[in-house]
Structure 1
Amino acid sequence: MTVALMWEARAVAGRGDELLAWVREQRLPAEPLRREVLRAPQDRVLVLTWWDAEYDAELPELPEPDGELVMRAVHRWRFESVAAD
């Protein structure tokens, strides 16, 4: 089964590039099948990781950035892949 983890944070206004750089520096203790980093308006950064694991498996996730870098707590979601084109 493939599980996708989503990690999304919103930087303090004007610090989106800093948050993006911070995310790119983060290393996980295990390598996912795939890792993708995206950005959006309002200084948002999204990280998607795909894992070959059961839905409820213990998987490494990115930590919370320093509180002075983000406007709010990180949002996290977990999804199970049901189809791919």
Structure 2
Amino acid sequence: MTVALMWEARAVSGRGEDLLAWTREQRLPREPLRRETLRAPQDRVLVITWWDAPYDAELPELPEPNAELVSRAVHRWRFESVDTG
């Protein structure tokens, strides 16, 4: 089964590039099948990692950034793949 973990944060106004750089520097204790980093308006950063694991597996996730970098707590979601192609 493929599980996708989504990590999304909103930077303090004007700190989007700093948050993006911070996410790129973060290393996980294990490498996922795939990792993608995206950005959006309002200084939002999204990181999606894909894992070959059961839905409820213990998987490494990005931590919370320092409070001075983000305007709210990180949002996290977990999904399982149902269709490919």
Question: TM-score interval w.r.t. the shorter chain?
Answer: over 0.9
Kindly state the Cα deviation for residue 35 of structure 1 after the two structures are TM-superposed: 0.0
Determine the structure 2 residue equivalent to 1:72: 72
Listed as ranges, the gaps of 5+ residues in structure 2 are none
Question: Is structure 2 residue 13 aligned with structure 1 residue 13?
Answer: yes
Count of equivalent residues: 85
Kindly state the Cα deviation for residue 34 of structure 1 after the two structures are TM-superposed: 0.1
Query: Partner amino acid for 1:24?
Result: R
Aligned to 2:70, the other structure's residue is in SS state coil
In the superposition, the TM-score normalised over structure 2's length comes to 0.99
Query: Partner amino acid for 1:42?
Result: Q
1:62, 1:5 → 2: CA distance? 10
Query: Partner amino acid for 1:21?
Result: A
In the superposition, the TM-score normalised over structure 1's length comes to 0.99
**How much identity, in percent, do the aligned residues show?**
84
Aligned to 1:51, the other structure's residue is in SS state strand
Kindly state the Cα deviation for residue 17 of structure 1 after the two structures are TM-superposed: 0.1
